[in-house]
A and B are shown apart, each in its own frame.
Chain A
Amino acid sequence: MCGIAALQLRNPSLHPEMGSLLSSMMCQIVDRGPDSAGLAVYDTPGLVSKGTSTVSLLGKDQGLPVDDIAASLESLLSSSAAPAVRVVGDTTLVSAAVGTDLLVKAVSETLPDSTIIGRGEHVAVMKSVGHPMDIAAEHGLEAMSGRQGLSHTRMATESAVTAGGSHPFSVADDLCLVHNGSFSNHATIRRELKREGVVFDSDNDTEVGARYIASRLQQGDDLETALTNLGKVFDGFYTLVVTTADSMAVVRDPIACKPAIIAETDDYVAMASEYRALAALPGIETARIFEPEPGKVYTWSL
């Protein structure tokens, strides 16, 4: 059992409330996964900014002072890249006015032991071990604005309770995946992806799903096709939510063991494991509320 709460805001006037709305949703899914949690927020001022790439690193302590990290990045990139390093809660965010690949390379050289948990121009990813609402508070979710937000509360089954095993898994630019369920053939698919040169950060089954989707997208699939292909290749139970810079997708396995409910209004699309996470959203009384059909891919774009 895990909990998922995701929100895509269509009405810009709600952007300042993204964090408080997502926080109120997340609060209702804590029971489903109290051991660890993670967040992905899109276009949140103060965390990411236009024209720069941001890399999210697991942990607040990277073994080097923040200024030293920034100095090293500047020498590897250029001073015009204006690299900036910030610690937010238990996460280190590194930004610079260069492409993501270049920034990732420089970060890996500066901090070879660091774990990259998010990358892109729009997304910041934060995750940790502990009570989900403590993690949300520590990162200041309540006050964040943004266009999309994704949260996950984990009850670990397939791999250890570690910050690295928390969701979301973000393995390509602005792409995030959260999962309620378990993949039963992830070891086989992991071996195949490794043979293709894919590198893994954890033993987690969901990471295999994220790497698979990233690999499909790289091969030219759109998000919907990538998720349809995932359904053909992966065995197990899943409700998945995938977010990109401007879209959100939900899919359940064909047996639909894991719950999901969606509320849609002109102002937002919200998805959660249970209705109670949606109950406090504005205009919920008149929202279109439905459970996604088994095996069907749903996508919404901003």
Chain B
Amino acid sequence: MVTLTAPETHAPAAAAQEGATENAAVDLADSPVRNLNQALHDATDGQSWTVTNPGGKHSLAVGIDAHVSVSINGHAGYYAAGMHQKGEVTITGNAGVGLAENIMSGKVHVHGDASQSAAATGHGGLVVIDGNAGARCGISMKGVDIVVGGNIGHMSAFMAQAGRLVVCGDAGDALGDSIYEARIYVKGNVASLGADCIEKQMESEHLDELGALLAAAGRAENPADFKRYGSARNLYHFSVHNSTSY
């Protein structure tokens, strides 16, 4: 498997100490999103931003590639924190379609709900959604960890290749359809499983990793209350006998 990301590096301690006090305030009611994103692209490790009046605008805090911290106070529109690396984005509100799409590393935390396709195609990092996520959460995930406090919609983790998806509420129809090696943990009910996705035994390693993910997301659920789902590995290679299952 080829990974396109550089190995995760931690912020240099010196930079973190020197720059930690710098906090820029951006009011999107009178400042364009493009300026915010340009400043984030020019940022150095340790800087932080507080963004007010996001008003559901699209593409907030996309393309971060430094150990910075961004707090968005309000609801974000489409593609918030897309293509995210290294830094931390917190949204105190809801997020629109395509939250943290293609996230590579770092953390994105939404205190409200997220619309469809949250963390789609994510390669790494952690996406935490305290509320519900819409349809297609973690579609084609490739290594990202996702923790959802509420429910997720239909077709979530479709073609999920790697990473972990944790759902503290219920999952919609066709969970994990055509899943590869991602692991799914659901506490509540699953409306239906997709093709080639099955319930699997919870071993101690799974309880441990689930416990660590819940802790990283700041949640108090008991890992023993969850069920694990993953690939039956029947559809990996084309077989004419499976033609009706694809």
Contacts and interface: CB of A to CB of B under 8 A. Distances in A.
A280 B115 CA distance: 20
B94 interface: yes
Contacts of A277: 56
B213 interface: no
A278 interface: yes
Interface residues of A, number: 16
Interface string B148-173: 00000110000000000000000000
B75 A291 contact: no
A14 interface: no
A275 B94 contact: yes
A124 to B, nearest CB: 29
B135 interface: yes
Say whether chain A's binding surface is mostly helix, strand, loop, or mixed.
loop
Contacts of A261: 115
Given A278-B56, A279-B75, A259 B154 contact: no
Interface string B178-222: 000000000000000000000000000000000000000000000
B57 A294 contact: no
Contacts of A255: 135, 154
A112 to B, nearest CB: 47
Interface in B44-86: 55-58, 75, 77-78
A275 B77 contact: yes
A274 B78 contact: yes
A206 to B, nearest CB: 23
B87 interface: no
Contact of B154 (A276, A280, A294): A294
B116 A276 contact: no
Given A259-B115, A291-B115, A294-B154, A275 B56 contact: yes
Contacts of A256: 116, 134-135, 153-154
Interface string A257-294: 00101000000000000111111100000000111001
Contact of B97 (A259, A278, A289): A259
Nearest to A254: B154
Contacts of A259: 96-97, 115-116
